[in-house]
A and B are shown apart, each in its own frame.
Chain A
Amino acid sequence: MTDTVAETRSVVVEREFPHPPEKIWSALTQPHLIEEWLMKTDLNPVAGERFNFRADFLPNGALDCEVLAVEPNRKLSYTWDSTSDNPAFNLTSVVTWTLTPTGNGTHLRMEQSGFRPDQVQAYQGAKLGWPTFVAKLEQVLGRTEF
């Protein structure tokens, strides 16, 4: 771990699925399946390959990505960068998927790292629930000097 880790935050979501790692790996790596639950993409799961995720809510309609690591049925990571007309709103991050077999299924962990803590960012089109919005509003208003 390096110093830069302390300066950024990660979003981590973990869940156990009653399915074998091979099946989850397919859903994470095959574009026609990825489209069903995440976004349109031309991902080719080979390290060094560049690809995009596409969705209307994204700045410029797409994410610029590059495959960083591929260990079939175990680990997949790629860059997840979005750029907009205003450079202050750019996001540079890395998404890492880790699959661990359990007794009757698979533990799936997603970590998206690289969020700078002082970043106030714009995004378009996404819907947040009311409680999240209130919490965020208070947080934003509380830390901003007018």
Chain B
Amino acid sequence: MQTSADVVFKSLADPTRRAIFERLCREGEQTVWELTEDAGVSQPAVSKHLGQLKSAGLVRDRRQGRETHYSAEPKALRPLVDWFGFYASFWREKFDALEDLLKRIDQ
């Protein structure tokens, strides 16, 4: 059985798909046409990649008039992130929260 991590890995193994996904993460919502301009592949190929990214849960689409707008779902990467990376961020945030609490106790 494929885990969600397997699906995400396979989807991002393709460099064109990875580039599309990274661009959506970086620049926000885009249409197929906007994505095709820089992708170096045809519009039907971009559409196919978007369909694949969507089925992996990495992008979502939103219809507006005649256009479909695509945006990234970085949350789908969760299965790929290791605990070490997670806790490195976690504790830094918690130290900030502790600092706030200690200040509040003073008052």
Residues on A with beta carbons closer than 8 Å to the beta carbon of B90: 126
Q: Does A129 contact B (CB under 8 A)?
A: yes
Q: How far is B99's CA from A57's CA once the two chains are assembled, in angstroms?
A: 22
Interface residue SS majority, chain A = mixed
Interface residue SS majority, chain B = helix
Residues on A with beta carbons closer than 8 Å to the beta carbon of B91: 11, 13, 110, 112
Residues on A with beta carbons closer than 8 Å to the beta carbon of B79: 122
Stretch at the interface among B6-14, B41-49, B59-67: B6-14
Show 23 residue pairs from A and B whose CB-CB distance is below 8 angstroms, ordered by the A residue: A15-B99, A24-B98, A24-B102, A33-B101, A38-B97, A86-B3, A120-B80, A120-B82, A121-B81, A121-B82, A122-B78, A123-B81, A123-B83, A126-B86, A128-B81, A130-B25, A133-B74, A137-B80, A141-B12, A141-B13, A144-B9, A146-B9, A146-B10
